[in-house]
Amino acid sequence: MKAIWHSMDVSLEQLNEMGEGTMAETLGMEFTEIGPDYLKIMMPVDKRTVQPYGLLHGGASAALAETVGSVGSALIIDPTKSICVGMEINANHIRGVKGGYIHALAKPLHVGAASHVWDIRIMDDQHRLICVSRLTVAILAKR
């Protein structure tokens, strides 16, 4: 399979360094795998990411989904010509989680000149589906 990325000259270490000082670092997100047409990230379910009932906060799932999809788009575009920004996200929360980690897999459904649409599946440590998200990213000309 042909890689979709603008450049394969990126490491997990570099992706994780990009998150320093951002929400990704605050919530403990960590990129774990780059494939030819997908990206994986994980996040702990702990005091930073739960709601008052002790369950994973839906907003934390959405933040994880937006992070992995947005970074995926940033890896596809030519950064000398374009920027990418989230335009719309939805998330269907399927199962509650009280601990461990959640793992998101992002794959593009559409890669166009003006937008990208991502399918993001979030699973728990037992590989059970926790959340399904779709993210639309706008591709804008760099000024």
Catalytic residues: 66
Query: How far, in Å, are 32, 82, 89 from residue 12 at the CA level?
Result: 7, 22, 24
Helix (H, G, I), strand (E, B) or coil at 142: coil
CB-CB contact of 131 with 101 (8 Å): no
**Phi, psi angles (nearest 5°) of residue 135:** -120, 130
What does the radius of gyration of the chain's CA atoms come to, in whole angstroms? 15
Structure tokens belonging to residue 100: 């461990």
